[in-house]
Structure 1
Amino acid sequence: MNDVIGVAWFKDEPTYRRALAIFTDPENMPATFADWKALVEKQCELIRGNGDIAIRADIDLETFADWCNAHGHKADSQGRTAFANHIALEYRKTGQGTVIE
Structure 2
Amino acid sequence: MTSFEDRPPPAVGAYWIREEDYPALLKIFDDGDKLPPSWKEWLKIAEEMEQGLKAYGHVVLRVPIDPATFPDWCAAQNVRPGSAGRRKFVAAAVTERYGDQS
TM-score (structure 2 length as normaliser): 0.83
Per-residue CA shift, 1:64-99, capped at 9, x if unaligned?
Answer: 112101111111111111111111111103xxxxxx
Unaligned residue ranges in structure 1 (runs of 5+) = 94-101
- Which structure: larger Rg? 2
**Structure 1 vs Structure 2 CA RMSD:** 1.2
The letter of the residue matching 1:11 is R
Q: TM-score when scaled to structure 1? A: 0.84
Supply the AA of the counterpart residue of 1:7. Answer: A
User: Is the 8 Å Cα contact of residues 4 and 55 (structure 1) preserved in structure 2?
Assistant: yes
Alignment gaps of 5+ in structure 2: 1-7
- Stretches of 4+ moved more than 3 A in 1? none
For 2:77 and 2:36, how far apart are their aligned partners in 1? 25
Give matches, 1:23-62, under 5 Å. Answer: 23-62=29-68
Q: CA deviation at 1:28?
A: 2.0
User: Following superposition of structure 1 onto structure 2, how do residues 85-100 of structure 1 map, counting pairs within 5 Å?
Assistant: 85-93=91-99
Identical counterparts, % of pairs: 27
